[in-house]
A = this chain, B = another copy of it.
Amino acid sequence: MAVRLHIQIDTLSGLPVYRQIMDQIKYYIASGSLVTGDQLPSIRELAQALTVNPTTVVKAYTELVHEAVIELRHGKGAFVASGYNPLSVEQQDKAVRRIARQLAVETAQMGMSPERALRIVEEELGAISSERAEAKAPVKLKVVASGSRS
């Protein structure tokens, strides 16, 4: 059966809806709440729960397919893909460094101390890897999907 996800759409953030869907699905996978082979909500099901158009969910899902995060099987559904993309160490470094620099600039801009910024990153990093460790055992996954539209 299809897993029920707790996805929230923030219409005020300015971020595209399809990208918010992508990010939150990635988050579930990264934290271990979703693992290889798990079935995602169907396109229409998720679209209805979020009160967005099915094609918007299609956009999110197909993008995730291109990133080899999930698989789409015609007539069957969407599933978490098996492997990791074999990115080279250099590419990994570059990708992470890009985000890290953005974070560094923003913190400096608002006058936040580097120590505090680092502590926040440490928290988020730790949150994911700890959830990952105990995932799939007690946690059954959250309730229904819910959105907030104006």
Contact = CB atoms under 8 A, between A and B. Distances in A.
Interface of A: 23, 26-27, 29-31, 69, 84-85, 87, 92-93, 95-97, 99-112, 114, 117-118, 120-129, 132
Main secondary structure of the interface of A (DSSP, over half): helix
A117 B120 CA distance: 13
A31 B114 CA distance: 12
How many copies of the polypeptide does the oligomer hold? 2
Task: Report the 6 A-B pairs with minimum CB-CB distance, sorted nearest first.
Answer: A30-B108, A100-B124, A114-B125, A104-B124, A30-B105, A100-B121
Contacts of A26: 105, 109
Given A103-B103, A118-B125, A124-B101, A108 B96 contact: no
Contacts of A124: 97, 100-101, 103-104
